[in-house]
Amino acid sequence: MKILHTADWHLGKKLDFYSRMEEQIRVMDEICQIAEQQQVDLVIIAGDLFDAFNPPTEAVELLYKTMKTLTNNGKRPVIAIAGNHDSPSLIDAPNPLARACGIVMIGYPNAIVSPFKLPDFEILNAVPGFIEIQLKHIAYPVRIIHTSYANELRLKAYLGEENREDALADVLRQNWQNLAETYCDAQGVNLLTAHLYMMRRGGEIPEEPEGEKPIRVGNADLIYSDIIPPQIQYTALGHLHGYRNVGTAERPAVYASSPLAYSFSEAGQQKFVSIVQVERGENAHLEKIELKNGRALARKSFDNVDFAVKWLEEHPDLLVELTMESEYFLTAEERRKIMQSHSGIIHLIPKVKNTGGNLQEIKEINLDKGLEELFIDYFKTKNDGQEPNEELMNLLKEVLAFSN
């Protein structure tokens, strides 16, 4: 059977003030087209469907429309779990109606999915954290262990281990292993999906994206992929925004990536969906398909306004975080010139170079000085001894004149 794995849609997310909704509409359509072109049998969305607990109406509509399209009129199961950006109750709310369309929405880690039957597939079995699906055109069932996001304390409680002092990884290992030993034999395809921070033991610790709500504090609660039961042939993960296999070649545990770059820490990062081919008793075979839609992000730094403007004009389709290094603060005219050269500047960061001067520490404030002199002293202490430019001083004078 063939599976499409995607995650971290973050529908409704903005890049600072800049709406990504039009890009999200296009990339959701692209994912739907890939599902049709690849003729996948199952879709898994591994959390962070929305960017906020209370997403805007257009984000909710886009989610429902996309999942309905992915089901191919109820022929293809779509399994979606909640991530740390999602409200579990909001994810669960449409489930009775969603099931009629072939969509299973799972908000809580201990959720029990009510069995149902459609013409092209049915839920054969469901217990907390597990479902078994039989597709009409495939001779063997697919089993899915599912763990939606919850913080460590709540996750232990959901898994019935609220009184245990064991590390979260130990609790997850035991829970997953119990489910796998009970339900995941070699007579079906065995999958796991979770929204967690996971890494390969001995590997480099991956960084969570900027702007992402962190779900890891320090290194005490790291979850290693070797706790995944050996019966599991593929693990569909969500949370990290870059494509990464934290499992092995034989038993992949994959972050499929977000469909768009959502922070400038992801600048230059290519986005994918994961296509998984797997048969019962066999190793999974992976293919990652590059997503083409969405504006790319770029972090650039210049020390010359004309060079910056030239580069911006040559890259009109990017969304840009631009740092301008200079000996003095940008003037209003320089700032205007930069901003007028490009419509996708999200952040313009002025950075004054260290003059290397020996600024004498001001230990006392001489209140006998005038406001202008006091302002100059204060400005110099905050900016490596550099004095405010004429434009800033003129602005101060206007403010003082207005206040008088």
State both tokens at 274: 């994961």
User: Under 8 Å CB-to-CB from 311, ≥6 apart: which residues?
Assistant: 300, 302
Record the pTM: 0.85
Give 10-residue mean pLDDT values along the chain (404 residues): 98 94 98 98 97 96 97 96 95 89 94 93 96 97 96 80 69 95 97 95 82 60 89 97 95 97 94 97 96 95 95 96 87 92 93 59 61 82 74 82 71
Q: Quote the pLDDT of residue 358.
A: 47
How far apart (Å, rounded) are the C-alpha atoms in residues 273 and 268? 17
Please report the pLDDT score of residue 377 as a whole number: 81
Largest distance between two CA atoms of the chain: 90
Which positions ≥6 away from 351 have C-beta within 8 Å?
A: 301, 323, 324, 325, 326
- The CATH code that applies to domain 2-290 is 3.60.21.10
pLDDT of residue 218: 47
DSSP H stretches of helix in 102-183: 152-158, 168-183
Query: 234-238 and 189-195 as β-strands: parallel, antiparallel, unpaired?
Result: parallel
